[in-house]
Chain A
Amino acid sequence: MTRKTLLRALLLTLGVIPAAAHAAERQLAFVTCPIVRDTSTVPCWLAEHEGELYYLGIQVDSQNAFRPPILGHKVLVEGVPQANADAIANAADIPAGVERVCGGIPLVPVQISALPELSPECQTILPAEDRYDLPFTAPRPPGPGRRPLVFITTPPAPEPPFQPRSFDVPYDFDSLVDSRHTRWFRNIAAYARQINSPRITITGYRAAVRLSNGKCLAEKADIGERRARQMQELLQGGSLPDLRYELDWQDTPCSDGPMRRIARVTVQP
């Protein structure tokens, strides 16, 4: 533990640093080239920031919550270093007490987003080394799976009286719908059918985040509107053609928290 970390822990314990400020301080947000490191099983993904290496996640499957970065593109990384986190045990798959995975400090929770423009300098693939093997069993090996992949799961039917239900659909930075979104569409459509919804409201957000270097990184000006309109087009063109759609779009201010790159879809009873 560094002297700076010790001092911060002491000040936090004494109540000199408010807890909220402490949480914001722990949040890292930076743009960098992603790094992939091979292992004896699946590869893991890393990112370097101010001389430190951070662990982002491993290759799993196309439907996994963690979507690995794209070499050839920079990545926006947002997360809290595990060494400073309060709830290490919440880190998915990482055993308690493990300080580094694949040589990097875990960021928990971590949000990453490949930036759309090409960055051909981002091409680092590190070879496997025994010392960096995963400290846990990968849920899916690099070859065939041990069980069939499941794309479609229908949530349990809700009980009346039915309530409005909101779905915060996440996006990559400056991006619209991609492969991750079909699960959201299915969940939204399932709930709308279950409650025989007549109306859906959609708010598309344009997000911004304060990077750790102090700069504000904001999405394109019209991305909120485009998200809302595309969401309507895909829901209406999919399995919900007869509902009434109400659209809105908003900017979110630049803040120190995780970037809210979302469209909020609310299914009304």
Chain B
Amino acid sequence: MLVLSGALTTFVAAAATNHAQDAPVQVEQTAISGPDAGQRGDVVAGHVPSQNEQAQDAPVTALDGATDGTPPDWWSPGEGRTFPEYLTYPNANGELGLLNASGTFETRGHPFFEPIGRNGRACVSCHQPADGMSLSVRSIRQRWEETRGQDPIFAAIDGSNCPNLPQADEASHSLLLERGLFRIFLPWPPKNAEGQAIEPEFSIEVVRDPTGCNTHPEYGLTSDNPMISIYRRPRPVANLTYLTHQGFGVDYWRDKDGQLAARDEDGRPANMNMMADARHATLQSQAVEAAVTHLQFDGALSPAQLGQIRAFEEQLFVAQVASNGAGSLIGEGAPPAFGPYNLRDGKVGELGNNTNTFVFPMGDAWTGAAAGDTAQQRDMRASIRRGHDVYFYRTFWIRDTMHLNTVGFGNPTKRTCATCHQMHMIGSDVANGWIDIGTTNLPWAKEQPRNPWNAHQPDLPLFKITCRDDVPPHAFLGRVIYTQDPGRAVITGKCVDVGAIVMQQFRGLAARAPYFVNGSAANLREMVDYYDRRYDIGFTEQEKIDLENFMASL
């Protein structure tokens, strides 16, 4: 049983009561004590009480985000707007569309939109509709300028590089302002579902600590409440029926490593593709942690509030709806992959890496000229189609990728982008799994070149991971690994999981740069270039342009 603060204990009791009334499913108890097994029936994950302790102890800056006039595309907490059934926002590549499939509602009093914690934030603070329900660096920078750093997104707890830093100083928020990264603080060693420490397979040494948080006596790894601080992008809160599906590839055992899958509150095998490190498998348990860590909420979200959050998140579909070059991406004649209505109507939990289903079905759309098309439209539409074909058919050697080259494909394997990004309609992984493509592990992670002529200093922490001799080494990096973010290993404590990150969905990309878990790709070109470099693909310039155009249309 978890040892919780008073408010969280109250919540657990309430949730258990609700569970008994609504879903009388007996959850079997076993002796299993891994990081995922205990998620069955538990809305409060084992690591949350430790996080709550730091969140409540950290300073709360009185931020209100007041501006002379709220920008129309920025949703402030508690402003009580109406959320319409359909809304659009312009972006650099065209226009984004959001389908609120259950219809118009008032956000007044809704827990997703109200500042329920102590720092003035709401969920919507970091999951902005105009940014595809994520948060772009462009918006973050704009809010800094408009509010002189007073928007709640800059809260000390995780909107600054470390809570101890001078909060009025722009440099204290550099990771958020420059890369769009929020501080994620997790107990080390990791906790199992019962809140007990898991013995990790490796030791962690802080090699570089530019934010000061990992070595800080109150917030760091040697504090009384030992925490590792890593910095990650907020993921889009949309199209989540796909990411929480319980269809193909979701079973009691995970097909990529044979280990136990997490369970939902009813004890059923759950999808683990929501969070970067898969530490939550349900929207409810994620919401509980998010309220504690990001909102500094010390109360108990009621089952009704959790239900409201879940219901909102499960019916929101986001996709690009217009392209600057191609014109409308929806409606008659447009590819069936595009737009939020097709997402709403798509098959959930389907493997798309085959020519029956396709990941992003293009049909016969845009294969011929239609009356009224401009030359620019024809050219862009042709480029988007070519980009799809590069994504779906262009083979290259995928190699040295943990949890891909180790799961039966061999190393290397000659495959395509769609081998990994294969979930029908959103391009994430359909099965439970996480992969290390090198975005946080050296030698592939983006690092500042160190030389006498480069004044830029590294901005992310660097950890040295040393795996024990009695466990198998990481298949490609051995027993000593340098990483900016241990990824899934922060939850499991396993050497093979160091740097492994759950891949993201491809929707609304044009609205939410930068990309990758650590914001290391500032734009779509940098993302394509990363893959080109990492896997020695040899994309032509035209292939890169086409891929960019395709991805910006999703």
Contacts and interface: CB of A to CB of B under 8 A. Distances in A.
Contacts of A63: 408
B62 interface: no
A36 interface: yes
B253 A238 contact: yes
A67 B260 contact: no
A196 B159 CA distance: 54
Contacts of A179: 255-258, 406-408
A174 B470 CA distance: 12
Contact of B410 (A59, A146, A186): A59
Interface in A155-179: 174-175, 177-179
A125 B397 contact: yes
Contacts of B431: 151
A173 to B, nearest CB: 11
Interface in B244-303: 248-249, 251-260
Contacts of A142: 395, 414-416
B253 A234 contact: yes
Interface string A111-124: 00000111000000
Contacts of A71: 399, 411-412
B387 to A, nearest CB: 15
A15 interface: no
A67 B408 contact: yes
Question: Which residue, of B249, B354, B357, has the highest number of chain A Cβ atoms within 10 A?
Answer: B354
A86 B407 CA distance: 33
B473 interface: yes
Interface string B457-484: 0000000000000001101101000000
Contacts of B253: 181-182, 185-186, 234, 238
Contacts of B473: 116-118
A72 B414 contact: no
Given A61-B408, A70-B411, A148-B357, A242 B260 contact: no
A118 B414 CA distance: 22
Given A151-B248, A152-B251, A45 B410 contact: yes
A146 B258 contact: no
> How large, as a class, is the contact surface on chain A?
35 or more
A178 B257 contact: yes
Determine chain A's interface SS by DSSP, over half rule. loop
Contacts of B31: 233, 236
B392 A59 contact: no
Contact of A178 (B258, B397, B410, B418): B258
A64 B408 CA distance: 7
A93 B353 CA distance: 24
A179 to B, nearest CB: 4
B454 interface: no
B406 A70 contact: yes
B32 interface: yes
Contact of A148 (B28, B354, B392, B406): B354
Contact of A143 (B37, B393, B400, B412): B393
A68 interface: yes
A71 B257 CA distance: 19
Contacts of A189: 252
Interface in A216-269: 233-234, 236-239, 241-242
B40 to A, nearest CB: 10
Interface string B355-394: 1111000000000000000000000000000000000110
B405 interface: yes
A23 B1 CA distance: 58
B476 A72 contact: yes
B251 A70 contact: no
Interface in B393-446: 393, 395, 397, 399-400, 405-416, 418, 431
Interface residues of B, number: 51
B408 A180 contact: yes
A139 to B, nearest CB: 13
A55 B392 CA distance: 29
B30 interface: yes
Contacts of B476: 72, 118
A145 B354 contact: yes
Contacts of B521: none
Interface in A54-96: 59, 61-64, 67-73
B351 interface: yes
A38 interface: yes
Given A73-B475, A182-B258, A241 B28 contact: yes
Contact of A241 (B30, B355, B397): B30
A267 B32 CA distance: 21
A234 B406 contact: no
B252 A147 contact: no
Interface string A131-153: 00000000000111111110110
A177 B496 CA distance: 13
Contacts of B415: 142-143
A186 B269 CA distance: 13
Nearest to B405: A70
A73 B410 CA distance: 11
28 contacts: A36-B412, A43-B412, A62-B409, A63-B408, A70-B406, A72-B411, A118-B476, A118-B478, A125-B397, A142-B414, A143-B418, A144-B392, A144-B418, A147-B354, A147-B356, A148-B351, A149-B353, A177-B257, A177-B258, A178-B407, A179-B258, A180-B408, A181-B258, A182-B255, A185-B252, A189-B252, A236-B30, A237-B34
Top-4 shortest CB links A-B: A68-B410, A238-B252, A237-B32, A62-B408
Given A62-B408, A143-B416, 16 more contacts: A71-B399, A71-B412, A116-B473, A118-B475, A125-B412, A142-B414, A144-B355, A144-B393, A144-B416, A145-B353, A145-B354, A146-B355, A152-B251, A174-B472, A182-B254, A239-B252
